[in-house]
A and B are shown apart, each in its own frame.
Chain A
Amino acid sequence: MFSINTLSPSRSDYLLATVLRLCAVLSGVVLLLVVVFLVQEAFPALRHVGLVRLFTDDSWHPTEGLYNLLPMLWGTMLVTIGAVSLAAPLAILSAMFCQFYAPVSLARWYRRLIELLAGIPSVVYGFWGLVVLVPMIGNLHPPGPSLLAGMVVLAIMILPTIALLMEASLAAVPQEYLHGALALGLRRWTMIRNIVLPAARSGLFASAVLGVGRALGETMAVLMVCGNVVQIPHSVFAPVRTLTANIALEIAYAFGTHRSALFASGILLLLIVLGIVVVADAVKPRWTYGE
């Protein structure tokens, strides 16, 4: 990058750069404050209960001094993994359809529809899950509110976003590759499988990671359909409680160490997201082949 000085900018350039820098600093400070606040609030729990007991206690009964977060951690992980593994393949198919198979006019309408879906508030998806999906699952295998319901609702919720992002990464594959492939008489599917998907894989991967982030943080929809029983589920039909749902359910009446433990679970969520970002960055497929 050029430094400001070498470009000898005009006054307005300088002003803009200063404003932008201030904004960047501000957002950094806000993040830092959030972390400091979380740690401060979680500190009593970490001191009185200790890190180890947060994972080894017999159960989560804060009123009786038992603080095991593990079942909720499992709940969060399973719901998220399930939702993303349901949504990602569908999103790829949707993106391929929109980009390579649908006629131009249909693709335009289809894209608008997905944009619309991506804008629906999560509570509406939760509502749908509660009224339609949960009874269906209940018929299949009682009780109904379950890990499966959470996975499906979350998957449907993150699907539009991932699909849009994935389509954008397919669209970013240089036209020259496509022309080259078509001029060689490659079939459309050969072109997509051998050229487009490999070329777009880092973008596709990043889209899925973003979906993971959204699924992890989602609270309302999962709270409405998962049953919220604190347990490590033994089947997809068992009710579960996620970390986020736990915070939302209990923060209103929690005090003392209990309240502090909820903040500790917030830190745990933060660490998971951080871990995913780091891992995703490390295993991210490269844009070009073999370089």
Chain B
Amino acid sequence: MKVGLVQEEGRTWSSYTTSSLPSDTRDAHICAAQLNVWYGDKLALHDVTLAVDRGTIAAVVGPSGCGKTSFLMCINRLTDMIPRCRVSGALHLDHLNLMSPTIDVLALRRRVGMVFQKPNPFPLSVWDNLALPLKEHGVRKRDELRQRIETVLREVGLWNDVKDRLGHSALALSGGQQQRVCLARALVLSPEVLLLDEPCSSLDPLSSGMIEDLIVSLRGRLTIVIVTHHLAQARRIADSVAVFWAQAGAGWLVESGPTQQIFDSPQHPITAAYIQGHRG
């Protein structure tokens, strides 16, 4: 299998990228090499080679349909649940081979949290939204539940809003509050990686700003991969940026590198045009 090859010859694949990787790849937390995703016969993501350093924020940008969501879903193996979806290539989280059919995906998803584009709190109370994953992963004592839920709700700035109505439906909250519940739900399991799929796209600027601040405050503690359509947002918060593009229906990675470099001296004409387009 290709997988072993990449692990042993750790550095060989960095030559596939159009620009240098963020930093020394041996420190990389998430490592993808020649990653392909198929939906049935349709190639959705082609040959993506990308590394994300531990504790940094990586932004994934690109036009609609270029495989950004597909890329995120490989990292927590949500691709498993899509019928006829196939992934090939190499993908590692630390030393864990994510392509292996035998890994414990439940444990993996505990380490890798995800927030979706559309707020999707469960149709349960705020408390149950957060207690459910905790209980599932072995936290049973009510004191501990309470303490962890309070901590995480404070962290996402929701505690004062909901502390008196933890028993009320999470669906009764506003869209921004719902998205923060989802963020809290992902954080409550203390993951080491957080995947954010356009978390602000359905929110007003104020809620969007709150979530952005929260993401920045998590830098260093977690490795964050955020998909966003706001180039300005990517520039503000990301340490590195990966530009995806769609060609003949298949998404591919145009260029990746430190944020500064991508925005100030893009190597690839597509990147330059994309950034230019958003400036103009």
Contact = CB atoms under 8 A, between A and B. Distances in A.
Nearest to B107: A185
B109 A182 contact: yes
Contacts, number: 86
Contact of A184 (B125, B168, B171, B189): B189
Interface string B81-122: 101000000000000000000000111111001101010111
A37 to B, nearest CB: 46
Contacts of A288: 123, 169, 171
Contacts of B128: 194
Given A176-B116, A177-B120, A180-B182, A186 B171 contact: no
B132 A179 contact: no
Contact of A190 (B120, B123, B136): B136
Contact of A290 (B105, B110, B116, B125): B125
A190 B132 contact: yes
A199 B123 contact: yes
Contacts of B132: 184, 186, 190, 194-195
Contacts of B81: 178-179, 182
Contact of A177 (B123, B125, B186, B189): B123
A290 B185 contact: no
Contact of B167 (A176, A186, A187, A290): A290
A195 B172 CA distance: 17
A291 B122 CA distance: 14
A289 B109 contact: no
A198 B189 contact: no
Contact of A185 (B105, B124, B169, B171): B105
Contact of B109 (A185, A199, A291): A185
Contacts of B116: 176, 179-180, 183
A181 interface: yes
B78 A179 contact: yes
A179 B78 CA distance: 8
A183 B124 contact: no
Instruction: Bin the interface of chain B by size.
Output: 20 to 34
Given A183-B186, A199-B123, 15 more contacts: A176-B118, A178-B81, A179-B81, A183-B76, A183-B109, A183-B114, A184-B109, A184-B132, A184-B133, A185-B107, A186-B136, A194-B132, A287-B123, A290-B125, A290-B172
Interface of B: 76, 78, 81, 83, 105-110, 113-114, 116, 118, 120-125, 128, 132-133, 136-137, 167-169, 171-172, 182, 185-186, 189
A104 interface: yes
Contact of B78 (A104, A182, A194, A289): A182
Nearest to B114: A183
Given A186-B133, A291-B169, A177 B122 contact: yes
A262 B106 CA distance: 62
Contacts of B78: 179, 182-183
6 contacts: A183-B76, A184-B109, A187-B136, A190-B136, A289-B171, A290-B168
Given A104-B83, A183-B114, A291-B172, A198 B137 contact: no
B164 to A, nearest CB: 14
A111 to B, nearest CB: 15
A184 B109 CA distance: 6
Given A176-B118, A183-B76, A195 B124 contact: yes
Interface string A144-174: 0000000000000000000000000000001
A88 to B, nearest CB: 22
A179 B120 contact: yes
Contacts of A190: 132, 136
A68 B78 CA distance: 63
B168 to A, nearest CB: 6
Interface string A269-291: 00000000000000000011111
B106 A187 contact: yes
A198 B168 CA distance: 15
